[in-house]
Amino acid sequence: MSVNYMQAIRARYESLGYTPYRWFEADDTPPWTTMTMPLSTARLGLLSTSGAYVRGQVAYHYKDDTSLRVLPSNAVKEDLRFSHITENYLVDAKRDPSCILPLSQLHTLRAEGAIGSLAESAFSCMGGVYSQRRVRDEVAPAVLDGLRAQQVDCALLVAM
């Protein structure tokens, strides 16, 4: 079943008597950077906005949680957990984590030579943060710092 997320949010806000939800609009176009190397030689990082975490880590809380979870790239699916403000969208991810956190597929691509290497850790955040300022000032810099620390050449964003 397909869900028009933006329409559902608008309807939910309206039903609760809130002012219309303000979707993020960038002030300008982000710079485009062309890859300077083939993907087959690149080190790939991963970010999922699904609220994924591994057994033993603390789950996300539901009120503008801007924290990150660092997940080992070799985590097995039995150890993956999800906690997100939009829990109802996680039915498939809880059944098959690969649909929102494709670690096993990335390892297969690495073994086949499609990507050069995979960063030791993947990152996860809860994409349902309603403060645009906090995403810009807290989440994005933390993700960038984490990816840079792992010396990735490019990153895959799997948005929920």
Which residues of the chain fall below pLDDT 50? none
Residues sharing a CB contact under 8 Å with residue 70, sequence separation 6 or more, in sequence order: 121, 122, 123, 146
Residue 80 CA, distance from chain mean position = 14
In whole angstroms, give the CA distance from residue 123 to residue 134.
17
Predicted local confidence at residue 124, as pLDDT: 94
In whole angstroms, give the CA distance from residue 58 to residue 70.
11
Predicted local confidence at residue 86, as pLDDT: 65
b/e map 118-143, b = 16+ CB within 10 Å:
bbebbbbbbbbbeeeeebeebbeeeb
Placement of tokens 């850790």 in the chain: 121
Predicted local confidence at residue 150, as pLDDT: 97
**0.85 surpassed by pTM:** no
Residues sharing a CB contact under 8 Å with residue 113, sequence separation 6 or more, in sequence order: 40
Predicted local confidence at residue 2, as pLDDT: 72
Predicted local confidence at residue 115, as pLDDT: 97
